[in-house]
Every structure is written in structure tokens, then in C-alpha cells.
Amino acid sequence: MVISLAAPFFSRIEIEENKLVCGAGARLKAVAVEAKRRAISGLEFLEGIPGSVGGALRMNAGAMGAATFDVVESMRFMDHSGLIAQRAAQDIKVEYRSCAMLKTSIALSAILCGSAGVKENIQYRMDEYSRKRWQTQPAAPSAGCMFKNPPTVPAGKLIDELGLKGTRVGGAMVSMEHGNFIVNDGSASARDVLELVEIIKARAKELRSIELRTEVEIIGEP
């Protein structure tokens, strides 16, 4: 089953002083742009992350050294029985790219906190983040960073050191711009991507004794 929260009620963004009350269906880019329009600083990093607030909460999505739950005050959610509740961020267990409770509950909305800023400064940071992103990440289609960073070395750097940039299975290839991206030349199947993931994991284990774990969540049958 796929539940879409793109309807207007679930994608609304409301402002309360330096806080944004965001439906789970709100696009992250829209949140960042609305924060800039209201001169609310601290949410600039969301602008370049594809997806919605709900997805960002589920994955504790992050960029530019910041993560979603760094700016969450509270979250409203529903469990599988239909019970709706709200919980403060400090009472929610999160970790790198994961919010465990949202494996069994559905995020409905969140209150995001920023601070009073200056529009020009906010725009400057957003431009800088965008420039850095396009200088270091591939423009080709991908699912974003494929692997979580191990404790000892960034995944992209590890894959580069292993000489795997440019490695290809069918239409899937390890990006030449950033080793932690698997890009699609337009003909890749899911199987191509998954086979390439296994090649990378095996090489990292064999040569560096590092167990790589995927940041992208893989669902469904092969």
C-alpha cells in the first residue's frame, strides 16, 4: 500500500513566529523557501533535499552537516490502529538516517524551529549550499547517497579509495563525481543497482574489513 499525503491539508505550511508547522506532505524545498520568505534562519539545508517533510522525518534526512531532527520541536503521528498523538522531539529516539518509531507509525506533521534572520543572508547560504551540491554530486538520476558513512571513513571516500568509481552493472554505474552515488544512464533496472551494491559491499569487506550498510531503504522483491 502507498499512502500519499500530497493533498493540500497535509502539505500546508503555517508560520508561528520563528516556527513552521508543516504537514508531512509539504515539500522540503517549499519549507526552505517559505522560511526564507519569512526571514527564518536555520532551515536552509532542507532546500536541496528531494522529498517531503514526512520522508525527512522517517529518514532523519540531512545535508550540509545538519539533520531534520536538529530543527524539530515536536511531531504529530498516527499508529496503525488510527490513534493520533503528538510527541516532543526529545522524546523521540532518532539516529543517523533513521527514526525507528516511524517504521510502525505515520508522520502527519511537525513543528520546525528556526531563528530570526536576514533574508539576504539566508539566500546567500542557500546559494552556497546549492553551489557546493552541484560541484560535488552527480546531475544524473540517482537515489541519493547509497550507503551510510562508516565510523572510520566517509562512504564516498572509501569507494573512491577502493577504485570503484565508474564500475558498472547494466545501466547502473558508480558515479565519477561522488563514489556514494549510483547513477542510472536511463536503462538501469533495480536488479542492476542491487548487484552493484553487493559488489561494493563485498569489496569494502574484503579489502578494508568494513561492513557497508545502505542508507537507501530497499523494499519489495528482487
Which pLDDT score, from 0 to 100, does residue 122 have? 94
Q: What is the mean pLDDT of residues 161-171?
A: 96
| Domains of the chain, each with CATH number or no CATH | 8-134 (3.30.465.10), 138-208 (3.90.78.10)
Please state whether beta strands 105-113 and 168-169 pair in parallel, antiparallel, or not at all (unpaired).
unpaired
- DSSP per residue over 185-218, as a string? -S---HHHHHHHHHHHHHHHHHHH-----BSS--
pLDDT at 137 over 90: no
pLDDT at 41 over 90: yes
Q: What is the mean pLDDT of residues 3-7?
A: 88
Arithmetic mean of pLDDT over the chain: 93
Beta bridge partners of 115: 41
Which pLDDT score, from 0 to 100, does residue 222 have? 62
pLDDT bin (cut points 50, 70, 90) of residue 109 is: very high
pLDDT bin (cut points 50, 70, 90) of residue 219 is: confident
